[in-house]
Amino acid sequence: MHDLDFRRHRRLRQSAGIRTMVRETRLSPSDLMYPLFVVEGEGIKNEISSMPGVFQISLDYLKEEIEEVVSLGIPSVILFGVPSHKDAVGSEAYNDEGIVQKATRFIKEYFPELVVVVDNCLCQYTDHGHCGVIRDGQVDNDPSLELLTKTAVSQAKAGADIIAPSNMMDGFVAAIRQGLDEAGYTHVPIMSYGVKYASAFYGPFRDAAHSTPQFGDRKTYQMDPANRLEAMKEALTDIEEGADFLIIKPALSYLDIIREVRNEVFVPIVAYNVSGEYAMIKAASKNGWIDEKKTVLEMFTSMKRAGANIIMTYHAKEAARWMTEEL
């Protein structure tokens, strides 16, 4: 045995202290972004059946929710609106008195340092559930851009720090950037859902946002999960059009895409740990099949290791507590 010549990699794993010293990827509450579903009305705090621990909340519950987020060291939230009125063109999305606009003004009044990101799409606001204008049974790209741009300007006017367009229309970043600039919001960044797959992992979100398509699906504008090179094309196009961040959605089954995009672009990358990923962890944990804390933190480590700067997740509050315990 004394003649063997081999590497002793275990030397750097022999104690918790040494493992901490050489750890390459670290998690912090500052890595997290918390999604919120805001609804019209008062006294509303409805738990989403497929997403235990996640609620639709009215504005009178919002201050309490944001106080908790801030106390945990989470630096940002992203708002999704659930309007009381829907129509063919999603007019509540660009209503200056719409639910997201009111929620944005409320948060910025009481918590001005919290970064408010606002989802920019029409699907929650249209009666057909698609992300744009319908013409001859299809989502018509260019007229949709006009409404999405109106929505972005209204959101910026309400005080949104970052606009996050998720619609996957061609040219959506260019159109929104031009619209914001012309309206005097040159300082407002765009966090583009640049790489968004037509995924089976979105089911619980559609329960939360009431955004299930009433006919067909979204495969003509969201990406085929089988495609890798197309992700690079989408990402690079959005950078050229002015995106300041890129969201990759979903995260867990697309870690290879996060890494590929990270290797090619120099803007912050957001991994969206989507509703189906959250629901699976919650269900398995409830049944005692996995350790939720260890599984979530390992999952988030994989996302950061793949190249994500920010993790958008429904686990944000729990994860922030767990991360603090780990320090």
What CATH number did the domain enclosing 115 receive? 3.20.20.70
Q: Is 196 a residue of the active site?
A: yes
d(CA 319, CA 317): 5
Considering only residues 288 and 122, tell me which one the structure prediction assigns the higher pLDDT: 288
Q: Does any domain span residue 1?
A: no
For β-strands 138-140 and 133-135, DSSP reports them as antiparallel
pLDDT (mean) for 57-72: 96
Token pair 């004394």: residue: 2
Q: Does any domain span residue 236?
A: yes
* 208 Cβ contact partners less than 8 Å away, ≥ 6 residues apart: 37, 48, 50, 51, 54, 56, 80, 82, 275
| pLDDT band for position 142 (cuts 50, 70, 90) | confident
Residue 224 per-residue DSSP state = P
Q: Does any domain span residue 161?
A: yes
Tokens of 186: 């040159």
Most distant CA pair in the chain: distance in Å? 78
Tokens of 226: 């089988």
Domain of residue 218, residue span:
25-326
Q: Is the pLDDT of residue 205 over 70?
A: no
Q: Does any domain span residue 292?
A: yes
Least confident of 113-117, 198-202, 314-318: 198-202
Least confident of 21-35, 202-216, 270-284: 202-216
pLDDT of 75-99, one tens digit each? 999 999 988 888 877 788 889 999 9
SS3 248: strand
Q: Does any domain span residue 287?
A: yes
Q: Is the pLDDT of residue 245 over 90?
A: yes
Q: Does any domain span residue 105?
A: yes
| pLDDT band for position 327 (cuts 50, 70, 90) | low
Least confident of 85-99, 119-133, 256-270: 119-133
pLDDT (mean) for 218-232: 86
- Write down the pLDDT at residue 1: 58
| pLDDT band for position 210 (cuts 50, 70, 90) | low
* 31 Cβ contact partners less than 8 Å away, ≥ 6 residues apart: 300, 304, 309, 310, 311
Q: Is the pLDDT of residue 325 over 90?
A: no
| pLDDT band for position 211 (cuts 50, 70, 90) | low
Residue 288 per-residue DSSP state = T
Taking Cα atoms as reference points, which of 99, 67, 75 lies closest to residue 162? Answer: 75
d(CA 149, CA 183): 10
Q: Is the pLDDT of residue 289 over 70?
A: yes
d(CA 223, CA 194): 10
- Could you give the number of structural domains in the chain? 1
Omega before residue 250 within 30° of 0, cis: yes
pLDDT (mean) for 109-115: 96
Q: Is the pLDDT of residue 74 over 70?
A: yes
pTM: 0.91
Calculate what percentage of the chain has a pLDDT beyond 90.
Answer: 71
Considering only residues 217 and 175, tell me which one the structure prediction assigns the higher pLDDT: 175
Assess contact for 39 and 58: CB atoms under 8 A. Answer: yes
Q: Is the pLDDT of residue 56 over 90?
A: yes
- Write down the pLDDT at residue 166: 84
Q: Is the pLDDT of residue 217 over 60?
A: no
Q: Does any domain span residue 119?
A: yes
pLDDT of 26-54, one tens digit each? 999 999 999 999 999 999 999 998 999 99
Select which of 150, 196, 304, 317 is catalytic. 196
Q: Does any domain span residue 203?
A: yes
Q: Is 249 a residue of the active site?
A: yes
Select which of 86, 150, 249, 282 is catalytic. 249
- Write down the pLDDT at residue 87: 81
Mean pLDDT of the chain: 90
| pLDDT band for position 229 (cuts 50, 70, 90) | very high
- Write down the pLDDT at residue 90: 79
- Write down the pLDDT at residue 85: 83
